[in-house]
Structure 1
Amino acid sequence: MLKFKLYYDKDAEEAWLREMSLNGWALKKFFLGFYTFEPCEPGEYNYQIDLLDNWSGNKSDYASFMEDLGVEVIEQWWRWVYLRKKAADGPFEMYTDAESKINLYSKIRNFFKIVLVIEVICFFMEFTATIRTGNVIFGIFTVLLGAISLAILNVVWKCKWKIEQFKYEKS
């Protein structure tokens, strides 16, 4: 089965993948919002999504390390890594303490801050083109870029909020 979804929220995406597993569908492949699923026993897998520190490291070392922990690397898309573990092997949570969660959400927030800056620059360029030309197509793209910028800003805000929550837990 092939499904298309765009997620900006790691937690929501993981919850959806768990729900799919509970309905008997295991993630097999991911690329640019396209998720490929294969049948599985309902609830057979638990999923986690990780953000690598950089994309130039040795990916086979990461995969070997995960396999040693009983975790399967399903897919890596740029710096995002999709992982699964058999539910029968127990709970699957990569980041368990407040400090590691703070580090993870800080990485995610910083990643999306960079994307946000790029989107905002594109938005203003498109906005300028719309004003200069009065072209409806440019206007449509301006609105689209504005919506994407707001969605990314929402992710940055959620990460900031989660970091504050974990700092509160830690203290």
Structure 2
Amino acid sequence: MASIVRPSLLRQTALAAKPAFRNSALRASAFHTSTRRSAFISPGPQRIEGTVNDPAPVPPPSAAHGSYHWTFERLLAAGLVPLSVAPFAAGSLNPTTDAILCSAVLLHSHIGFQSVIIDYIPQKSHPGLRKLFMWGLNLATLTVGVGLYEFETNDVGVTEAIKKLWKA
């Protein structure tokens, strides 16, 4: 009885029963197994450096990377939950809570985009492109920081703007 519900047996039975289904299944499977791929970044040179018996390189110890860095990211992400509620609870006329919220969101976004660049643009094969994206991220973070500062000091502020948009 258990052999009847095997997927391979069901597939064979369905393919044998309806020839029209078999043709569409073959077309669908040919479509799904296509080897044509388009990628933003080329794979780069494929070369092996060293031998199989070489040890993995150990990075130099740094307090800014590793467990302290990970702990800071987690604390920042967890701290955004109460920080997103605090300006609304304290009132929108409190610029300190607005500034802390804007700084935390900006730093959280910068760290997140930096992780994406590190993960998807390899240093070995594309060092120039990685450096370009890192400088672009730093420039974008600086631009957004200046914009948020101007919005906080010369306009209504982020919390009041969100309140106005919510009521609109």
Asked if TM exceeds 0.5, the reply is: no
TM-score, length-scaled by structure 2: 0.30
Q: TM-score, normalised by structure 1?
A: 0.30
Mark the structure with the bigger radius of gyration: 2
More strand by share: 1
Query: Which one has a larger percent helix, Structure 1 or Structure 2?
Result: 2
